[in-house]
Amino acid sequence: MGNKRKICIMGMGYIGLPTAALLANRGYQVYGVDVNQNVIDTINCARIHIVEPDLDEFVYSAVKSGSLVVNIEPAEADIFMIAVPTPFHADKYNEITNSPIPNVDHIVDAAKKIAPYVKSGNLILLESTSPVGTTGMLADVLKKERVDINNVFIAHSPERVLPGHILRELIENDRVVGGINNESTKKAADFYRAFVEGDVLETTAKIAEMAKLTENSFRDVNIAFANELSILCDDMDIDIRELVLLANKHPRVNVLKPGCGVGGHCISVDPWFIVDSANGKAKIIEQARRTNDYKADWVIEKIKNQALQFEKDNKRAPKIACMGLAFKPDIDDLRESPALYISDNLNSSLDIVVVEPNIETHNSLQLVSYEQGLQADICVYLVAHSQFDILKLKARDLDFCGLEKST
C-alpha cells in the first residue's frame, strides 16, 4: 500500500464514488471524503448509497482490499480530485435575465479543506461542472490559503458520463483537460491517459469549462425543440410520435423524442451557467431552458384536466399513479427531475401514488409497487423504467408523457 500513488477525492456522490472505486481497483490508494456520515459509513462497510450497475462490486472489492477508505477529513495525497455539487443559490437571481446564479461554495469549501494537505508537485483536478473561470478561482482560493500554486498543478476535466453507464464511460469516453498553465494541462492529461481509453484532449481551463457547458446546452436546445413541437402538436391534434418518425426520414434531420421536461444535474443546470455570465446575450440557450422547464408545468395541467374529466364522467375523484420519479430511466437519481416536480405538484391537490422501482422510500410521496400502480384510474408514465411492462402500455413511446386509463 505504501508504494501506491495516493488520490484524495472530495465528494462521494454520483461521480466521486464511481471514480474512487475505479481508481482503487486500478492500483491507486484512494481516500474518499464526504460531509455525510451515513455515506461514509455505508461505503466503509463496502456498500453503496446510489444505484449504478456494477458499482457495488467495484466498491466491495476496493474497500475489502484496503484501497478505498472514506472519511470526513482529507488526507495527504499525490493527486486531489474535487467532485462536489455545483447547485444554484436558492435566493439569488441574475439582475439582467432573472436566471439562477451558480453556487460554487462547495468547491471553495473543498479547496480550503485540502489546502493544509497540499504539497509541492501535487496535481489538483476539478471535475465538478463549473462556470467559466472556476478553475482559476480555485487556484486563487488555494493561494489565499497559503498554498504555493507555482509548485502545484491545477486543471479542470469535466465528467461526461451517463448515469447507468458511468463505470464504462469513465474509461471509454474522450476527456477534455484544461489547466491553468501548460504544465498543469500536461500533468493532468498524463494522469487521465493512465486509465482512459478514449482520447484525452488538451486545452485551457476556460475552454474545458465552456466545453462541458456547451455540450449540455446543445442537448438542451435540441430537447426544447422536440418539447415545443409536442405542445404545438397537441393544440393541432397531431400525433407527435408519427410526426417525429416521418420528419426523421429526412437524411439530415434528427428530431428528438419529447418528454415531460429535462432533469439531472447536467442538462437542466449547465445552460444557466452560460446564461448567468452572458449579460443577456445567450438568448437561444436561455429560451431553451425556459421551454424545457415549462414543459413540466404543461404536463401538470394536462393531468389535472384529465382528472377533472374523469371526475365529471364518474362522479368521483380519480386515483392517479405517477410512473417514475428519477430524471431518466433505470437510475435512482432524483436531482432536478421533472417527474419528481410533477408528482410533488399533483400531490398537493390530487389523490396520487408513485411507482419508482429504484428507491425504497420518499419523504412526502406514497410509493407503491408497479402492480398496485396499475390499479389506479389514471396511469401517468413519466419515466421509461425497464421495470414497466411495455406490453401493457399498448406500445406507447415512454419518452413522451402518456395518459392511460388502467384496464
Q: Which residues are catalytic?
A: 212, 266
Find out whether 138 and 275 touch, Cβ atoms under 8 Å. no
Radius of gyration of the chain (CA): 23
Find out whether 18 and 43 touch, Cβ atoms under 8 Å. no
Label the pairing between strands 68-71 and 29-33. Answer: parallel
Find out whether 163 and 14 touch, Cβ atoms under 8 Å. yes
Write the CB contacts of 81 (distance below 8 Å, at least 6 apart in sequence).
7, 8, 9, 10, 16, 19, 124, 125, 127
Lookup: cell for 76: 495527504
What's the rounded Cα separation, in Å, for the pair 18 and 24?
A: 10
Backbone φ and ψ for 167, nearest 5 degrees, come out as: -60, -40
Lookup: cell for 131: 462556470
Secondary structure letter of residue 94 according to DSSP: -
